[in-house]
Amino acid sequence: MFGAKVEAGRVDRRVSNPIIATPWLTADASEAVLEIPGAARFHVWQGRHVQVQVMPGASASVIRMWLEGMVASLVLIQQRRFALHASTIRVGGRLVAVAGPSGAGKSTTAALLAGRGHSIVTDEVTAVDFAVREGVVIPTVCPSGRRLRLRRETVERLGMSRDGGEEIIGTGKLGFPLVPTDHDELSLELVVVLRPEGGEVVSDVHALTGPAALTALITNTLRPYFCILQHQAHLRWIAGLASAVPIVQLDRPSNRWTGSRVAMLIEEAAMGGRDTDGLRPRHAAESNSTPRADLPVAPLTPSSAG
């Protein structure tokens, strides 16, 4: 998981001087202990090691859910790396991160785009690193290894087969594996922020610049509360991402299905049908980051009925 070793074992560690101290999590910049009643205790140390003490009766799917989500967030924070709360899709050869709050439709949009012939790179967790190539800042995406998680009713609505989908107990969702395929390395070229709104809203896309772009990235950072553990590094990451990649907002109504139009608008934005030239990669004087390759994955296979 993002380079950290995960192993089973007893967790009896305590964080002596935590920056975050709640009944379920204690953490400083290099160590964290997370306790999920009835599921597991997790010890995350220096972004390199995760120890898991599974509680009796806890299901493997629930443990994996916590590993893929909150524990992965802590691993990244300890590595001084950050992620968008976004699903990432290769659309027409360009890598697009679809961000938004829980319930905004990120995974559904990823599945719709996969059904239109595009490839899902990662779901919900999009870790972004930076490289400088020929003086230009290039954001690169590190796959999370997560499954695509969809509600049962969404699977049915999209006409997808449930074959291969693992039930994630207590969530009402199925987890579908994202199968790697052979693709060239891709850099992140567009961030789309989904914004569901009530009322008679027409689905459309518009560019975010300046403070609006920074606010959108802060809001859509994965587990933004954890970023107090690496506050200055997070602000530098936000500024770097805002200056290196176009950021657009896609407004859509929250009270009716507009999935197909949302997918079409993202295709247009990614492949040049929408003007996103307002934000292009800017030159950087220096960077100590090293490039990271993405690992695109095959689109999901619809059922014969779909």
Q: What is the pLDDT of residues 189-237, one digit of tens each?
A: 999 999 988 777 778 899 999 999 999 999 999 999 999 999 999 999 9
Tally of structural domains, the chain: 2
In-domain check, residue 292: no
pTM: 0.82
In-domain check, residue 212: yes
| Residues 44, 102 within the same domain | no
| Residues 101, 196 within the same domain | yes
Q: Dihedrals φ, ψ of 113, to 5°?
A: -65, -35
- Residue that terminates a domain, selected from 78, 104, 137: 78
Q: For residue 127, give both structure tokens.
A: 């870790």
In-domain check, residue 144: yes
Domain holding 153: CATH number?
A: 3.40.50
| Residues 23, 146 within the same domain | no
**How far separated are the first and last CA of the chain, in Å rounded?**
34
On whether the CB atoms of residues 251 and 195 are closer than 8 A, the answer is: yes
| Residues 64, 164 within the same domain | no
| Residues 66, 201 within the same domain | no
User: What torsion, rounded to 10 degrees, do the Cα atoms 178, 183, 185, 189 define?
Assistant: -70
* CA atoms of 222 and 12, how far apart (whole Å): 27
* CA atoms of 233 and 230, how far apart (whole Å): 5
Q: How confident is the model at residue 15 (pLDDT cuts 50, 70, 90)?
A: very high
What is the rounded average pLDDT for all residues in the chain?
Answer: 84
Distances (CA, A) of 257 to 56, 138, 198, 208: 41, 35, 12, 24
The identity of residue 3, as a single letter, is: G
**Does the structure show a pLDDT above 50 at 178?**
yes
- Residue that terminates a domain, selected from 78, 110, 128: 78
DSSP β-ladder status, 136-142 and 125-133:
antiparallel
What pLDDT sits at residue 247?
97
Tell me which residue range forms the domain holding 15.
5-78
* CA atoms of 6 and 171, how far apart (whole Å): 24
In-domain check, residue 275: no
| Residues 66, 91 within the same domain | no
**Does the structure show a pLDDT above 70 at 152?**
yes
